[in-house]
Structure 1
């Protein structure tokens, strides 16, 4: 189905899934376990803020004081793609893996205070804010990072052929946004980031997230052991699920992304369900956790701004979220890395720029992690 014949924006031709591409023999992943932040709940954290945003007085100031923000617009200046004024929005959602404090216990490793980005998704909200497309960017993608200035005013030289997530460890949020805009040609209107500990507590405060596994998932490296069937995942199990790369599929970052995308839909469904709750204490606890978990761009750095933003997203259900992975292929020189399939990726970016559905042809025949369908919403 072509983009022109797609009846509704945000839903690509057929199911928009990528065709499986099997890895050649002898190219299995051999790297040791990574400590995965993969904290993909920023998308729904905004919705939870909406639920708790009705508090007054000191509650408002308490929530307001929780939010951390970064002034990306000032750091990047005017050398950016032009914003397309068609009623759509692009939000870069990032999962960060800090190696200090509470996150050290969750992620392992040394307490060196460093941070890495382990999940990056471009959320394109279509005009009317009833549908969205989500494009995951594999952290192992080799890209050319542009020269960038971070929010502390430090300028970092450009680099060629580096892993995508190196942008965050080099220059934080600003350099990550700069790299995404360079790769895609799209202006990022907003930035949302969630960390390790915040993700786990958020899921626990939600009362867990119901999912169904179509096959058993066992990965000692992410402390995950799930039989086939229906489960309500607590924070630690959910974190293990979105971290695992060896329990399902081909052991790649791409398979892990497919699990993350499935979990996001289950999480959105759970947040929608919680919209009927009437307990002020429960709603405040969720809002308190969410505002502590997120870092935003400065335009979203207050409860009022974040609540207004979330209010514009609340009409988007999981059934109206099309989820794909940026078209990539395995790097012939290193099977542990992927490179952008530029022709197909351009179809994705052009579709979003023109506020249209991503055509199925954009992801057909590209590399996948062979883990689609392992997780479904309950």
Structure 2
């Protein structure tokens, strides 16, 4: 991988092909000889040139980056061949219709920009474990003062839904909000829209997911029978967006349904040796660079590839997908979900300490364990969490951090109301038809 950080050489000027003029005729023998000579030349220089061409191809497709509040404009992290230490990366899925295919709606009529998906990836310092935390879109959180892209600053707010942060201050505001909520520093962030999800799913060749019971969602157009489906392109996007077709029809059900896809995606990437294959990684990196808005520190080929490489040797059972612990509640007259701070503190204290975590609750209402998977057992019932007092803007939550217990293997056993699964858990989507 040492060639990844090298600066590509300037490509030689290629003569323009005549589109309508008369071309000189060459004999078949001469054409074959030229082809063979070219092939030999490629073989002789492929050691460095192929990597250089691939690097140039990816770099040339990278979109303008976004400066986060914790970054210094114009200052890049040094190029690296393999990332050292831990990683905190925030992935935000935007529902904006700007620049998207017309089938997703009229951008002039659907003008809101909300982050329907907000997920935090944490990779431990020693690359032995990874955690992906999904934040419900209707989670009431304090939003700090955020920089206005047009200049100035948006004022802080004590309680707003997390999915409004993109509309207040773009990706930097979402990052600041999650940093305040979790106590973590997040140097890497990316925003993806509908078309980007389609292209990224195509880049990995699709993902095999289990559908336990039929999913039919007229809102997204998803119609899947029970069974295993290879999802890519538009169908993958529909699957990740559906909430009316799974679980109880809520965003909480959608999160556990997304975790079915994500755990299968991890297995696809690792089982197919994608994370060890530079050619495949280049393809995915190019798709990401071409279809996502990246923060400055992530807008770098080496950083993208090296973060992927950090996941290469992590066992499936140490890659955990969790839903931020929450309770149905009300804030300022709006219905939504409120954070359960005691459980959240246990989760993020473990993450800050780089301790592996162990789940004791269920998978969530949008998924279930695959009954046909080896060693499958019955899925624990989702934990019912008492709702806060109606109309209260202050969640009845424990603000004090507690030291979570550790299992004999050193993993922190999280409370039962922290739902999710590992990449080793074979799960199926739970349609609500």
After TM superposition, the score normalised by the length of structure 2 is 0.64
Q: What SS is found at the alignment partner of 2:229?
A: strand
2:255 matched to which residue of 1? Answer: 257
Q: What SS is found at the alignment partner of 1:315?
A: coil
> Structure 1 residue 63 and structure 2 residue 117: aligned?
no
Q: What SS is found at the alignment partner of 1:121?
A: strand
1:364 matched to which residue of 2? Answer: 416
1:291 matched to which residue of 2? Answer: 289
Q: What SS is found at the alignment partner of 2:140?
A: strand
Aligned equivalents of 2:209 and 2:186: distance in 1?
A: 31
**8 A Cα contact 1:98 1:104, kept in partner:** no
1:157 matched to which residue of 2? Answer: 155
TM-aligned CA distance change 1:326 to 1:55, over 3 Å: farther
Residues 1-378 of structure 1 correspond to what in structure 2 (within 5 A)?
55-68=50-63, 69-73=65-69, 87-106=85-104, 110=108, 115-150=113-148, 153-275=151-273, 285-332=283-330, 336-358=335-357, 360=360, 362-365=414-417, 373-375=427-429
Aligned equivalents of 1:64 and 1:205: distance in 2?
A: 17
TM-aligned CA distance change 1:354 to 1:308, over 3 Å: same
Aligned equivalents of 1:313 and 1:98: distance in 2?
A: 30
Per-residue displacement from partner, 1:179-205 (whole Å, max 9, x unpaired)? 011111111132133221011122234
Aligned equivalents of 1:87 and 1:57: distance in 2?
A: 27
Shift of 1:217: 1.1
- Of structures 1 and 2, the one scoring higher in RCO (CA 8 A, sep 6+) is 1
1:34 matched to which residue of 2? Answer: none
Shift of 1:357: 2.9
TM-aligned CA distance change 1:276 to 1:286, over 3 Å: closer
- Of stretches 325-334 and 165-174 in structure 1, the one that deviates more from structure 2 is 325-334
TM-aligned CA distance change 1:234 to 1:345, over 3 Å: same
TM-aligned CA distance change 1:176 to 1:335, over 3 Å: closer
- Of stretches 311-320 and 182-191 in structure 1, the one that deviates more from structure 2 is 311-320
Aligned equivalents of 2:255 and 2:356: distance in 1?
A: 20
Q: What SS is found at the alignment partner of 2:175?
A: helix
Aligned equivalents of 2:271 and 2:418: distance in 1?
A: 35
**8 A Cα contact 2:343 2:417, kept in partner:** no
- How many residue pairs are counted as aligned between the two chains? 313
TM-aligned CA distance change 1:101 to 1:344, over 3 Å: same
Aligned equivalents of 2:340 and 2:417: distance in 1?
A: 10
Aligned equivalents of 2:85 and 2:71: distance in 1?
A: 25
Aligned equivalents of 2:416 and 2:270: distance in 1?
A: 31
Aligned equivalents of 1:132 and 1:316: distance in 2?
A: 8
**8 A Cα contact 1:139 1:163, kept in partner:** yes
**8 A Cα contact 1:97 1:195, kept in partner:** yes
TM-aligned CA distance change 1:236 to 1:108, over 3 Å: farther
**8 A Cα contact 1:269 1:317, kept in partner:** no
Aligned equivalents of 2:201 and 2:321: distance in 1?
A: 21
Aligned equivalents of 2:270 and 2:418: distance in 1?
A: 33
Aligned equivalents of 2:120 and 2:212: distance in 1?
A: 27
Q: Which of structures 1 and 2 has the bigger CA Rg?
A: 2
Per-residue displacement from partner, 1:128-175 (whole Å, max 9, x unpaired)? 213201111111111111112145543111123211011111101111
TM-aligned CA distance change 1:326 to 1:315, over 3 Å: same
1:23 matched to which residue of 2? Answer: none
1:37 matched to which residue of 2? Answer: none
Per-residue displacement from partner, 1:321-372 (whole Å, max 9, x unpaired)? 111111100015678410111111111111111111345464424689xxx9
Q: What SS is found at the alignment partner of 1:130?
A: coil
Give the root-mean-square deviation of aligned CA atoms: 3.2
Per-residue displacement from partner, 1:74-131 (whole Å, max 9, x unpaired)? 5699xxxxxxxx9432221222222112255335664666532111111111122132
**8 A Cα contact 1:71 1:151, kept in partner:** no
Aligned equivalents of 2:50 and 2:290: distance in 1?
A: 16
